[in-house]
Amino acid sequence: MSINDATARPNEDGGTGVIGAMDTRLTWEGTVGDNEQVSSITLSLPEGATFDHSSTRITVLDGLNRTSIEGTATSADNSMSVQFSEDIPAGSLVRLEVTGMQFPAEGGDYVVSGSYTTADGQSHALDDSAAITVIANTPLQAAVSWLDAQPWVAAWNSNPFLGMFFKPQLLLASFASLFPGWLVCLGIVLICYPFAIVLGLAFAMLKTSRHKVLRAIAICYINLLRGTPLFLQIYIMFFGLPMVGINIDNNVLGVIVMAVNSSAYLAEIFRAGIQSIPQGQYEAAASLGMNGFQTMTSIILPQTVRRVIPTVTSDFITSYKDTSLLSSVGVMELMMFSKNLTTTSGNITPYMAAAIYYLIVTLPLIKVVGIIENNIARSERGGGPRPKRRAAADASDEVATAEQDLASSATVFHAEASKPAGDVFAALSAPFVSHPTVDLGGVADGE
Amino acid sequence: MKNSMSRRQFILAAGALAGSAVLAGCGGSSTSSSSASTDSSSASTSSSDDSYTLVKDGTLTVVAELGFAPFEYMDDKTGDPEGFDVDVIKAVADKMGLQCEYLPNQKFDTLVPLIKQGGKADVSIAAITITDVREESVDFSEPYLDSNQAIVALKGSAETRETLNDASKQVVCQGGTTGDDWITEKLPNATRVPVDDVTAALTGVQTGLYNAMVVDLPVAKYMLTNSFSDLEIVEEIATGEQYGIAVSKDNPNLTKAINKALEDIKSDGTMDSIETKWFGSTI
């Protein structure tokens, strides 16, 4: 009898390693030789491995067809044996799947050895298998095992909802194994966004152009991309390009699709922003003798940038979330990792971990959008920052001024601006707060 | 003013509708589950201990991933589920005196959790291999079919099990399948790419996005004959795995009833005719 293969199922939570002293499944596969019939097989592992409490699934195949030979497995310490109900004919393939066995705790490379008995009662040694690499316990796994042993964790998990959605052990394991996916998500959206902004600006210019043809090009581009689902665009690019012989790395292609898609939305945002600048600004620029290009770059665009920042940030949030769609075409991002983990664990917790990873980025950004919008609204009401006071102004004077100020939010800002750290804050936020603004109209459709 | 009034009225009306729908849903489900238990106990022929619960009275509610031809797929024209598994579960339901109803298509990796949670579907039959891990979550009926795995690659690509076990190779599979497990364990060096549906995976192999796919052998054979003629099976992997019908662990009597029905359709030749219909011969 010859051995084909011996492998162990990875038992690292969210990983691919085989960890010692934790339940795993050993799969052993062998072929019965030409002139023999096998009645029993014994497998053994080095000292420290245990087959206690294991259960064995026996599969005997003739070619691709299953034969109905069964067997009884007995296990003792580091070896186990199977006695078959009838002799296995020559040429058959035998697979033993031993669930619930453990490799030695210290890790290392282990070979499965053993023996078999032929129908005539003779015992023969089995060839050693290729080595199975086992790793010692990882800190993460130790933490998970610690959680496993806690009574409160067991009580928590006994609630079907909590156990299915927020299993602490799995949450911990998910955070660790989802991390690379999160980096991919962030990477894709951070790399794609500058390109999207440049492309979007270009198409916004085209759309506000005086030439019919340029406008038509921009309108086609924007409407086609905004009028079709991103999911469809991803499918077209990922399956279409290779069909015409263009092979691009998955991650790069992901960046391209996301950039092209966002650029259409950004183009509309920029277009609305540009058109929201009052006509008087153009006239003022013309009266200073500026040409069209100068007007655009030094008068219109700087004001536009200020106005579109909240909407662009919202679009950024959308793009970041939309990277999840790339999981359907095999980009190894956050959703992909959590999906994998959910399929192996049969538990929803990895998705919850993914949700937390998304929220880590989106919640602060949403907050930022809120702050900027408030500041714009305040400057519209005329409540923006006053010209800076003398640096020598003493604190009591400051408080007195603040008390007179009716708008409390402005007060806070004012008091803050007087401190040294506040100066930096004021300088950084100045572009967002000082400008009079009109309603942005159609900008909100950037979603 | 008039405009805002009508909008408010609309919202109120919509809210009322939604609320009543939710209430009706709750009421409906609670009554139907209680009546289902009484009804099915009277329907089952043996003693009252054999009673099982059903999500919907008199109906076996089935959930599956309907993209796994020839086992289950949606008919091109009608959109109805069709396939070997569909015929089997219809025959089983018939023997149990029940109607058979399919829920909308679900992703494969959600089927076992869905049955485990209960409340939506009674059983799932979707070429689900009986494995130890899945048996921790759900009960399985007796196996109704033996299967194997296959490695599918482009014709003439010269890929083998050995060449695929390399960090530069992307091997695709349907997420949560035994093919997925097989790649994890037997091709540890390759990049495993689980996707949602078989067609997307095979299209990816066809276009060169992935190097190969690991999928159940009968599905590979069917798909390659019907739509992916430029792919070939480069290796048949004898796993001898067996498909079973997944049932909630809270419903052991349903498993028993299904096992009995399976036995019946095996003994009266229904199973043979279904096998002949889909595979050209009995297996």
CATH number for position A19: 2.60.40.740
CA–CA separation, A176 and A179 (whole Å) = 6
Same domain, A192 and A97: no
DSSP element (H, E) containing A2: strand A2-8
**B26-49 per-position pLDDT tens digit:** 444 433 444 444 444 444 444 456
Cβ-contact A226, A293 below 8 angstroms: no
Chain A residues in contact with chain B using a Cβ-Cβ cutoff of 8 Å: 5, 7-10, 16, 25, 27, 55, 57, 59-61, 63-66, 93, 95, 97, 99, 160, 164, 238-239, 242-243, 247, 250, 328-330, 332, 336, 339-340, 342-344, 346-348
Cβ-contact A95, A6 below 8 angstroms: no
Nearest to A339 among B132, B175, B191 (CB): B175
Q: What is the pLDDT along chain B (283 residues), one digit of tens a residue?
A: 445 455 556 555 555 555 554 444 444 443 344 444 444 444 444 445 678 899 998 999 999 999 998 999 998 888 899 999 999 999 999 999 999 999 999 989 889 988 988 889 999 999 999 998 899 889 999 999 999 999 999 998 889 999 999 988 999 999 889 999 999 899 988 988 888 889 999 999 998 889 999 999 999 999 999 889 999 999 999 999 999 999 999 999 999 999 999 999 999 999 999 999 998 887 6
**A237 within some domain:** yes
Same domain, A95 and A203: no
**A260 within some domain:** yes
CB atoms within 10 A of CB B254: 25
**B13 within some domain:** no
Q: What is the total count of domains within chain A?
A: 2
**A119 within some domain:** yes
pLDDT at residue A188 tops 60 = yes
Same domain, B98 and B137: yes
CA–CA separation, B154 and B228 (whole Å) = 10
**B84 within some domain:** yes
CA–CA separation, A271 and B37 (whole Å) = 63
**A408 within some domain:** no
Same domain, A183 and A112: no
Same domain, B110 and B249: yes
Same domain, B180 and B233: yes
Instruction: Flag if A329 and B181 touch (Cβ within 8 Å).
Output: no
What residue numbers bound the domain in which B70 lies? Answer: 52-144+244-279
**A391-445 per-position pLDDT tens digit:** 554 555 544 444 454 444 444 444 444 444 545 555 455 555 544 444 444 444 4
Same domain, B110 and B218: no
- Distance from the Cα of residue A243 to its chain's centroid: 28
Same domain, A274 and A341: yes
Mean pLDDT is lowest, of A23-27, A337-341, A433-437, for A433-437
**B24 within some domain:** no
**A150 within some domain:** no
CATH of the domain at B180: 3.40.190.10
What residue numbers bound the domain in which A88 lies? Answer: 2-134
CA–CA separation, A433 and A441 (whole Å) = 19
Q: What is the total count of domains within chain B?
A: 2
Cβ-contact A117, A40 below 8 angstroms: yes
Task: Say how many Å lie between the first and final Cα of chain B, rounded.
Answer: 73
Same domain, A85 and A189: no
**B210 within some domain:** yes
User: What six digits make up the tokens of A60?
Assistant: 């005997």
Same domain, B173 and B110: no
Same domain, B139 and B248: yes
Instruction: Flag if B132 and A330 touch (Cβ within 8 Å).
Output: no
* Predicted pLDDT at A187: 95
Mean pLDDT of chain A, nearest integer: 84
pLDDT band at A202 (very low <50, low <70, confident <90, very high): very high
User: What beta strand segments (E) does A160-262 contain?
Assistant: none
Mention every residue, 6+ apart, whose C-beta is less than 8 A from residue B62.
B89, B100, B101, B102, B103, B121, B122, B123, B124, B125
Q: Is the reported ipTM for this assembly greater than 0.90?
A: no
Instruction: Flag if A10 and B146 touch (Cβ within 8 Å).
Output: no
Amino acid letter, B129 = T
**B188 within some domain:** yes
CATH of the domain at A338: 1.10.3720.10
Q: Is residue B159 classed exposed, middle or buried when 0-12, 13-18 and 19+ CB atoms within 10 A define those classes?
A: buried
Same domain, A246 and A342: yes
Cβ-contact B122, B55 below 8 angstroms: yes
**A19 within some domain:** yes
CB atoms within 10 A of CB A344: 21
Instruction: Flag if A329 and B195 touch (Cβ within 8 Å).
Output: yes
Out of A355, A381, A407, a domain closes at A381
CA–CA separation, B228 and B213 (whole Å) = 13
Same domain, B130 and B60: yes
Same domain, B154 and B271: no
Same domain, A243 and A330: yes
Same domain, B122 and B251: yes
Q: Among A13, A340, A351, which would you mutate to test the B interface (most chain B Cβ atoms within 10 Å of its Cβ)?
A: A340
Same domain, B134 and B248: yes
Mention every residue, 6+ apart, whose C-beta is less than 8 A from residue A190.
none
User: Does the bond joining A104 to the residue before it have cis omega, within 30 degrees of 0?
Assistant: no
Q: Is residue A202 classed exposed, middle or buried when 0-12, 13-18 and 19+ CB atoms within 10 A define those classes?
A: middle
Same domain, A356 and A208: yes
Q: How do B123-124 and A65-67 pair as beta strands?
A: unpaired
Same domain, B216 and B102: no
**Residue A251 main-chain phi, psi, to 5 deg:** -65, -40
**Considering just the CA atoms, what is the radius of gyration of chain A in Å?**
33
- Distance from the Cα of residue A27 to its chain's centroid: 32
Same domain, A90 and A184: no
**A425 within some domain:** no
Size of the A and B interface in Cβ pairs below 8 Å:
93
Same domain, B133 and B152: no
**Residue A18 main-chain phi, psi, to 5 deg:** -105, 120
**A404 within some domain:** no
* DSSP alpha helix (H) spans, A276-406: 279-287, 292-294, 301-322, 334-345, 349-381, 395-404
